[in-house]
Amino acid sequence: MPRDMIADDLLRQVWGFDGFRPGQHEIVETVAEGRDVLAIMPTGGGKSLCYQLPALMREGVTVVISPLIALMRDQVRALREAGVAAGALTSGNTQQETDSVFEALGQGGLKLLYMAPERLASGGTLSLLRRAGVTAIAVDEAHCVSQWGHDFRPDYLRIGDLKRALGVPLAAFTATADAETRAEIVARLFDGCEPATFLRGFDRPNIRLAFQPKDSPRNQLLGFVAARRGQSGIIYCASRARTETLAAALNDEGHSAVAYHGGMEAAPRREVEGRFQREDGLIVVATVAFGMGIDKPDIRWVLHADLPKSIESYYQEIGRAGRDGDPAETLTLYGPDDIRLRRTQVDEGLADNARKGADHARLNALLCLAEATGCRRRRLLAYFGEDMAEDCGNCDLCLDPPRLFDATEAVRKALSAMLRTGERFGSGHLIDLLTGTSTDKIRDRGHDRLPTFGVGGDHSRGQWQAIFRQMMGLDLCRPDPERHGALFLTEAAHPVLRGEAGVTLRHDTTLRPKPANVLRS
């Protein structure tokens, strides 16, 4: 029987699905062939099927390493109900459960064995897996092997050894797509040998994308929520304190809102998770601690009260909305204070300089999306390596195209201000220079004698701030992490300086200047 007949039949008979989701079929076939695979799929894209189904097509046992015990138990239960011999070895097991898994393994009666990564640390595990006839390894949430990711699990570092010791193929799955995490996964799980890599199906067309510069953030937020009364939603904030104050403010407005953050005890956290899963119309005001493992299909909206830390975080967080495929809405509020906060978090973190540079770049990618002049989904998907044939028609910029202006002249002035001052200053000083503001620093450096001094008087400070932000968004210049955000020119800037390329920017993102010392709102 041809292979895809088998896969199709199993899909129908065991899972009761009519067809594969985008990308699933190829991954299933490649895993079933026994090749090493790295699959990057969005949350809700149907990863589990991509290792469960091949496990049934192959001889022997497939070990599944997964960080979430609750999810493992759910999957094992669902598989058993579908008639698949599956078991789990986790710390949550009763002795009886563990015994029955060992027994099934001994009799060669298991196809899928789920295991928490911590289990790999115990000495007996390797010989157990050897005896059990393991022929493949599947790794869920493979980005947990990345030491820099916020989900790092030290025991994931043992998976590479396990693969080597067993000499079997490995299939790794994650929703984190950036090149750096991918490279780390390849290095640590595959000994640096490139696996067959799949990057699929990142589009979630039912989710509306929108960004707004913070103007009057509290009103923007309350307005958005008021228009969606009674719907389940998540508000993400950058700080724990803010989750509490915002939840209180929403309750005062007659909404049903609860705060959730990593500083809370496990029990109240679990209670919020349970309520959110059960109740209709509850709003959870949370830090990023809320989300992994939340599987509520009818979350109707996600609002970012503050700018997320990277384009990956943004994508993951909005992706929790509308898993049922019905229309869902998102809004991301951002302002100069957020950008500064995120930059400071990167600069003051413990990472080495290369890593900090990469983190700034991921933040820049998100800013680029925030400052986009055309279809946001196009840009978002392009970041994840997918091309869209047409604009989406379901983002704020498609629905309400922004007013644009030819900013070539202004950008050229800004770039030459950077060049003439040796690419050693941040936007604040450069704006002083362009607007002809004679500060002490300007005079001390003799910058009031430069030809660029005051050439930008036709734009206000606020307009210049918007222009600089958009220039960073377009990657014409970047902040130098080793020089406290001093802006330097990228390759892309040179054609503009030479007059070979023009620049179009948005009019509508002009923000009122804010005091520079405010980092948190």
Residues that bind ligand ADP (CB under 6 A): 17, 20-21, 24, 41, 43-49
Which C-beta is closer to ligand ADP: that of 46 or that of 233? 46
Q: Identify residues 346-375 at the interface with Zn ion (CB under 5 A).
A: 375
Closest approach of ligand ADP to the CB of residue 112, in Å: 13
Q: Which two tokens stand for residue 20?
A: 């594969």
Residue 375 binding target from ligand ADP, Zn ion, none, CB below 5 to 8 Å by type: Zn ion
Options 158, 200, 377, 429; binder of Zn ion; rule CB under 5 A: 377
Q: Which is nearer to ligand ADP, 302 or 363 (CB)?
A: 302
Distance CA 71, CA 47 (A): 13
162 touching Zn ion, by CB under 5 A: no
Of ligand ADP, Zn ion, none, which one does residue 377 interact with (CB within 5 to 8 Å by kind)? Answer: Zn ion
Residue nearest ligand ADP by beta-carbon distance: 46
Q: Which residues pair with 505 in a beta bridge?
A: 405
Residue whose CB is less far from Zn ion, 369 or 486: 369
Closer residue to ligand ADP (CB): 48 or 416: 48
The least CB distance from residue 41 to ligand ADP, in Å, is: 5
Distance CA 325, CA 91 (A): 35
Distance CA 263, CA 266 (A): 9
C-alpha distances in Å from residue 482, one per residue of 87, 364, 419, 430, 441: 51, 16, 18, 18, 20
Q: Which of 203, 205, 174 is nearest to 386 (CA)?
A: 203
Smaller CB separation from ligand ADP, 45 or 481: 45
- Least separation in angstroms between CB 14 and ligand ADP: 12
Binding test (CB under 5 A) with Zn ion, winner from 210, 258, 370, 395 = 395
Nearest distance, CB of residue 400 and Zn ion, angstroms: 11
CB 332 within 8 A of CB 212: yes
CB of 11 to ligand ADP, least distance (A): 7
> In this structure, is the dihedral angle defined by the CA atoms of residues 418, 363, 460 and 405, taken in order, positive or negative?
positive
The one of Zn ion, ligand ADP, none whose footprint includes residue 102, by CB under 5 to 8 A per kind, is: none
**Do residues 310 and 355 make contact, with C-beta atoms less than 8 angstroms apart?**
no
Between CA 95 and CA 336 the distance in angstroms is 55
Is residue 392 within the footprint of Zn ion (CB under 5 A)? yes
The least CB distance from residue 298 to ligand ADP, in Å, is: 13
**233-236 vs 283-286, strand pairing mode:** parallel
Nearest to ligand ADP of 322, 485 (CB atom): 322
Q: Using the minimum distance from each CB to ligand ADP, give the nearer residue, 129 or 172.
A: 172
CB 53 → Zn ion: shortest distance, Å?
Answer: 34
Give the residue with the Cβ less far from ligand ADP, 42 or 233.
Answer: 42
One-letter amino acid for residue 178 of the chain: D
Q: Determine the interface stretch with Zn ion among 45-53, 130-138, 397-405, 455-463 (rule: CB under 5 A).
A: 397-405
Calculated CA dihedral for residues 300, 364, 41, 43, nearest 10 degrees: -30
* Cα angle: 215, vertex 216, 219; to 5 degrees: 135
SS3 of 300-346: the string is CEEEECCCCCCHHHHHHHHCCCCCCCCCEEEEEEECHHHHHHHHHHH
Residues that bind Zn ion (CB under 5 A): 375, 377, 391-392, 395, 398
